[in-house]
Chain A
């Protein structure tokens, strides 16, 4: 049971990869840039999380949905995947909307 949240995040991330590959939105548009943006983004949000936890603002809930593994006190393993998903969703959206705003190219790139 403790794998439900992690599994949901992995399924969601897989969906992002499929969309990225199909429409070449992020890593499939520029893998090197996407790698840098993703690493910087996840690290940034992890640091933000760690400050929030350290200051006692938020903390991990005790549920049966998570593995219970923690990468730092009160920072569940799942949070890393959540933040990666946040980054991936954001950049896929940005890539997709950026293309939709260029109709002539979007028809060729997205269509068929």
Chain B
């Protein structure tokens, strides 16, 4: 089995999780609180993160391969390289940046009912007005109190 075939299975699993997140986001958008649910899964943030991750992957993968931390069977890789890094390696970065935010969105948020699917820091933060600001104040981060008055309109 080639590296690309292996990647296809794992990327397919990632796609299924992302699909579940998209379905959840779509149903949430039509629900009672469209503004909040729209904050839940930010594909624009995923895209920007992907650019940053792919660049860092290109740099560090080349270093790691260059100093000999890892090696590849030349018969099982496509032969497409970014520098000396097999193109297949970038599937890990793509998988991470799609799978992890999708999982994050699918999991219920801290200290709220299952309906609050806000992002990690997508303007909700401690100021969502669902009681989270009280909890945040005890988390050892003093700045929480300065944020907690900004509950209104996280969407510009």
Which residue numbers of A lie inside 8 Å of B, CB to CB?
A: 5, 21, 23-26, 28-34, 36-37, 40-41, 44-45, 48, 51-52, 55-63, 65-66, 78, 86-87, 89-91, 93-99, 101-106, 108-109
B73 touches A41 (CB 8 A): no
Please list 12 pairs of residues, one from A and one from B, whose beta carbons are closer than 8 Å in the complex, sorted by A's number. A33-B107, A33-B108, A34-B120, A44-B95, A57-B2, A57-B73, A58-B3, A65-B67, A91-B101, A93-B53, A102-B154, A109-B121
Asked if B6 and A55 make an inter-chain contact with CB atoms under 8 angstroms apart, the answer reads yes
Complex CA distance for A48 and B103, rounded to whole angstroms: 17
Extra 13 A-B pairs, beta carbons < 8 Å, given A24-B136, A96-B121, A109-B147: A24-B121, A24-B125, A25-B120, A28-B141, A32-B110, A34-B104, A36-B103, A56-B76, A87-B96, A94-B97, A99-B121, A102-B156, A105-B154
Contact mask for chain B residues 111-131; partner A; CB cutoff 8 A; 1 contact, 0 none? 000000001111101110000
- Name the distance in Å between A51's Cβ and chain B's nearest Cβ: 6
B32 within 8 A of A: no
Tell me how many residues of B have a C-beta within 8 Å of chain A: 58
When distances are taken between beta carbons in the complex, the residues of chain A under 8 Å from B119 are: 94-95, 98
Q: Given A30-B109, A55-B6, A94-B100, check contact A109 B125 (CB 8 Å).
A: yes
Q: Which of the listed residues A21, A24, A55 has the most CB atoms from chain B within 10 Å of its own CB?
A: A24
Asked if B69 is an interface residue, CB under 8 A from chain A, the answer is yes
B81 located at the interface, meaning its Cβ lies under 8 Å from any Cβ of chain A in the complex: no
Q: Are A102 and B155 in contact, with the CB atoms below 8 A?
A: yes
Flag if B122 contacts A101 (CB, 8 Å).
Answer: yes
- Assess the A105–B72 pair: CB atoms within 8 A: no
Question: For the complex, what is the distance from the CA of A31 to the CA of B133, rounded to whole Å?
Answer: 14
Q: Check B20 for interface membership: any CB of A closer than 8 A.
A: no
- Report the separation of the CA atoms of residues A89 and B122 in the bound assembly, to the nearest whole angstrom: 17
Determine the distance from Cα of A49 to Cα of B19 in the docked complex, in whole angstroms: 24
Output the least CB separation between A29 and chain B (Å): 5
